[in-house]
């Protein structure tokens, strides 16, 4: 496995995070140091400078930095917080398995089991393999830190068969830990599927609500580097093509990472031939025409989608039912396919349990991109749910505001009535005094 480091001359650092967008704290033309905080948001994680340099531009989406050629990765310029999860947030820890979900949210609760997910099983992703070839101890160290900080009693390394010997050799260091090597099948690396294989656990909602933390090797490596050496998450391992991997700064322009691969001659050629960049795995990844953006925390793999990986044209479903028995979640993919645009039906059919593993795709004789459809449907559902939640919150605020206005109006009416009564009393007194004066005068 060839792992090399990239020295970028410019960085395009994205500010969009999982559910929020970090707010810039630097300005154009400002000189910044390696490890300096560039942006932050209380609901997300801070963004640090991977290298020193000069800020070329700042927009709501991205900070562009001209990198000082002699600069290096450096520890974050912050005082580490005492509280574990706050310190995790401070180190910009997000899941490096592909979702970039903030770790300080995922690691809440009182977990009883830590599962170290070393099941990297989706081609062409191989950044975990690359990590084990350069820093095999580091994910284990991250696991120890996490387990100790959260008081987790049980730690399990779930490793695919090729990785198992590497962990087996390290087990004497953590004798109470278990090594679990599940039977390989499609989608086994997905959190839900893995926990069912491990404990027969069925997840209803996030794993942490049922006492499990499932952490990817890259995330634990990042935690160890932050905890022991003060490096916030400013770099990641990204696999490129089928063989290569880079240790690259977040924000590194993708063309700097792609040209040396056997999959692509260079970015210009790629653009000329309208090739599509695949970010992530063949099933869970996304296709992008944005070849010039900067590397982001969720980008675990880059490859070109060429004729050999392009899907065959889809044909109508022939209701052969081959997709149902292979679904590890016991779903009915053909039904999900039929109702892919009907949210209520999809929820009733259990779309939330779909891990988009693609097992159904692999057997479908009509070449229907089922997993991609389900991924889109889940995204639409998530958006719809967040819109509904926002609408509910707005409605609640509106009801409170209405009640407040009604109460104020009633209070005003009451005050006016009291004033009127007061005025009448004053009038009666004034009339009585006038009468008395008249009597006296006569």
Choices 215-223, 328-336, 378-386, 428-436; region in contact with ligand SF4 by CB under 6 A? 328-336
The token pair that represents 67 in the structure block = 């990198």
Q: Which bin fits 272, alpha (ψ -120 to 50), beta or left (φ > 0)?
A: alpha
The answer to the question of residue 194 lying near ligand SF4 (CB under 6 A) is: no
Q: Which is nearer to ligand SF4, 219 or 284 (CB)?
A: 284
Q: How far is the CB of 22 from ligand SF4 (least distance, A)?
A: 32
The answer to the question of residue 339 lying near ligand SF4 (CB under 6 A) is: no
The answer to the question of residue 371 lying near ligand SF4 (CB under 6 A) is: yes
Binding test (CB under 6 A) with ligand SF4, winner from 357, 372, 373, 377: 357
The answer to the question of residue 119 lying near ligand SF4 (CB under 6 A) is: no
Closest by CA position to 358, among listed 330, 327, 317:
327
57-96 footprint of ligand SF4 as x/- string (CB under 6 A): ----------------------------------------
Which are the contacts of 315, defined by CB distance < 8 A and separation ≥ 6? Answer: 366, 367, 368
Q: Which is nearer to ligand SF4, 157 or 359 (CB)?
A: 359
Q: How far is the CB of 211 from ligand SF4 (least distance, A)?
A: 23
The answer to the question of residue 284 lying near ligand SF4 (CB under 6 A) is: no
Q: Which is nearer to ligand SF4, 58 or 359 (CB)?
A: 359
The answer to the question of residue 334 lying near ligand SF4 (CB under 6 A) is: yes
Q: Which is nearer to ligand SF4, 303 or 334 (CB)?
A: 334
Q: How far apart are CA 156 and CA 135, in angstroms?
A: 19
The answer to the question of residue 319 lying near ligand SF4 (CB under 6 A) is: yes
The token pair that represents 39 in the structure block = 């942006």
Q: How far apart are CA 252 and CA 266, in angstroms?
A: 16
Cα dist from 124 to 66, 233, 247, 284, whole Å: 31, 24, 17, 11
CB atoms within 10 A of CB 222: 30
Q: How far apart are CA 256 and CA 251, in angstroms?
A: 11
What is the enclosing helix (H) or strand (E) of 302?
A: strand 301-305
Chain residues binding ligand SF4 by CB under 6 A are 187, 317-323, 327-329, 331, 333-334, 336-337, 354-360, 363-366, 368, 370-371, 374
């Amino acid at each position: 496995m060839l792992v090399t480091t990239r020295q970028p001359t410019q960085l395009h650092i994205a500010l969009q995070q999982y559910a929020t967008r970090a707010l810039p704290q630097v300005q154009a033309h400002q000189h910044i140091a390696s490890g300096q905080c560039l942006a932050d948001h209380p609901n997300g994680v801070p963004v640090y400078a991977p290298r020193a340099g000069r800020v070329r531009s700042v927009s709501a989406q991205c900070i562009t930095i001209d990198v000082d050629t002699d600069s290096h990765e450096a520890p974050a310029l912050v005082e580490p917080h005492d509280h574990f999860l706050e310190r995790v947030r401070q180190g910009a820890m997000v899941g490096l398995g592909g979702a970039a979900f903030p770790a300080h949210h995922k690691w809440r609760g009182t977990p009883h089991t830590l599962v170290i997910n070393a099941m990297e099983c989706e081609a062409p992703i191989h950044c975990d393999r690359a990590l084990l070839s350069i820093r095999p101890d580091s994910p284990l160290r991250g696991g120890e830190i996490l387990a100790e900080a959260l008081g987790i009693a049980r730690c399990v390394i779930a490793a695919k068969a090729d990785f198992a010997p590497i962990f087996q050799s390290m087990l004497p260091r953590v004798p109470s830990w278990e090594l679990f090597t599940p039977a390989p099948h499609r989608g086994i690396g997905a959190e839900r599927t893995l926990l069912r294989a491990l404990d027969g656990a069925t997840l209803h909602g996030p794993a942490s609500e049922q006492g499990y933390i499932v952490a990817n090797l890259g995330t634990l490596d990042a935690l160890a580097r932050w905890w022991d050496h003060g490096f916030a998450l400013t770099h990641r391992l990204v696999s490129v093509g089928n063989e290569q991997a880079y240790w690259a700064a977040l924000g590194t322009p993708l063309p700097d990472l792609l040209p040396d691969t056997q999959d692509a001659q260079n970015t210009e050629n790629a653009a000329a031939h309208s090739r599509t960049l695949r970010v992530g795995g063949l099933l869970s990844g996304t296709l992008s025409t944005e070849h010039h953006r900067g590397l982001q925390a969720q980008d675990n793999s880059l490859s070109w989608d060429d004729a050999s990986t392009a899907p065959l044209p889809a044909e109508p479903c022939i209701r052969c039912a081959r997709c149902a028995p292979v679904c590890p979640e016991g779903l009915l993919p053909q039904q999900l396919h039929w109702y892919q645009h009907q949210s209520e039906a999809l929820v009733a059919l259990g779309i939330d349990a779909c891990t988009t593993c693609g097992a159904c795709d692999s057997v479908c004789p009509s070449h229907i991109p089922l997993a991609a459809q389900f991924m889109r449907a889940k995204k639409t559902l998530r958006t719809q749910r967040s819109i509904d939640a926002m609408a509910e919150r707005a409605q609640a605020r509106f009801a409170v505001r209405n009640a407040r206005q009604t109460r104020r109006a009633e209070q005003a009416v009451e005050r006016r009535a009291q004033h009127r009564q007061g005025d009448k009393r004053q009038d009666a007194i004034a009339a009585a005094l006038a009468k008395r004066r008249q009597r006296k005068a006569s």
